[in-house]
Structure 1
């Protein structure tokens, strides 16, 4: 039961985060960010937010820095939008799956040529 609730909260957070990151965050360091997934612990205390960032390594690090600085604001926005007793602590992490998939795709295309 707790897993189902955590999943629902994660999906809701993912939706709201997309909105918050595109419309509310004004930090110039934060580039083009896509929230690819959100994992919420069963007790709803922590949320790991997986992001994908368009750009080079420096732009990715700058975006992560900007998001870390805005963590409190993002958390309070989520708290206002989702009815929870306690808003989960949030952590940002790069989603490596997308990049890995693109790299594999490129290798396969190169092999075919």
Structure 2
């Protein structure tokens, strides 16, 4: 039963954080951010927020710094919207699965184009 609740809370955190980041954060360091997933501990003390950020490595680092400085604002907004007794500590991490998928796709494309030439 607890796993179901943690899963629902994680999905709700993902949805709410996406909205807050897109609509309410006005930090110029922010790139184009997509919240790809949230993993919450069973006691809801921490939430790992996985992000996909378009841009160079410098832009990604700047985005991470911007999110770190806005962490308090994000937690307070999340607490207001979700009405949790304790808002989890947010830990931001890059989700490299999209980049990995794009890289694999381009490699497959290269292989296919070489096969067409033969």
TM-score, structure 2 normalization: 0.94
Count, aligned residues:
113
Moved over 4 A (4+): none
**CA shift for structure 1 position 34:** 0.4
Query: Which of structures 1 and 2 has the bigger CA Rg?
Result: 2
- State the superposition RMSD in angstroms: 0.6
Equivalent position SS for 2:85: coil
Q: Deviations over 1:54-102 (max 9, x none)?
A: 1111111100010011001000000000021100000000001111010
Equivalent position SS for 1:68: helix
Equivalent position SS for 1:99: helix
Unpaired segments of 5 or more residues in structure 1? none
Distance 2:50 2:61 in 1: 14
Unpaired segments of 5 or more residues in structure 2? 114-118
